[in-house]
């Protein structure tokens, strides 16, 4: 039978599993945070698009009024 040297420095399986579990928890938290920021950005983008549409409609109405008045 082979003898193991007690001088070797290495990580145990338990230590590696604990580190892996911590990394998984951090990845899950990061995913939730990023998805929240993405949803906020989409909401802001839709509000901006709506305002641009309203401004476009206002400009079109003004142009129609100028054409009607002969400017």
Phi, psi of 50 (to 5 degrees): -65, -45
**Domain boundaries, given as residue ranges, for the chain:** 46-71
Helix (H) or strand (E) holding 30: helix 13-69
pLDDT digit of tens for each residue in the chain (71 aa)? Answer: 667 666 778 889 999 999 999 999 999 999 999 999 999 998 998 889 888 888 888 888 777 777 776 65
HSE toward the beta carbon, residue 20, CA cutoff 13 A? 7
Report the predicted TM-score, pTM, of the whole model to 2 decimal places: 0.51
Helix, strand, coil percent values for the chain (each to nearest 5): 80, 0, 20
What pLDDT was estimated at residue 21? 98
């Amino acid at each position: 039978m082979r003898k193991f040297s007690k001088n070797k420095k290495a990580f145990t399986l338990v230590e590696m599993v604990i580190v892996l579990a911590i990394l998984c928890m951090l990845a899950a938290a990061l995913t939730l945070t990023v998805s929240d920021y993405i949803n906020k950005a989409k909401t802001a983008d839709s509000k901006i698009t709506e305002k641009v549409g309203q401004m476009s409609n206002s400009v079109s109405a003004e142009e129609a009024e100028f054409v009607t008045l002969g400017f």
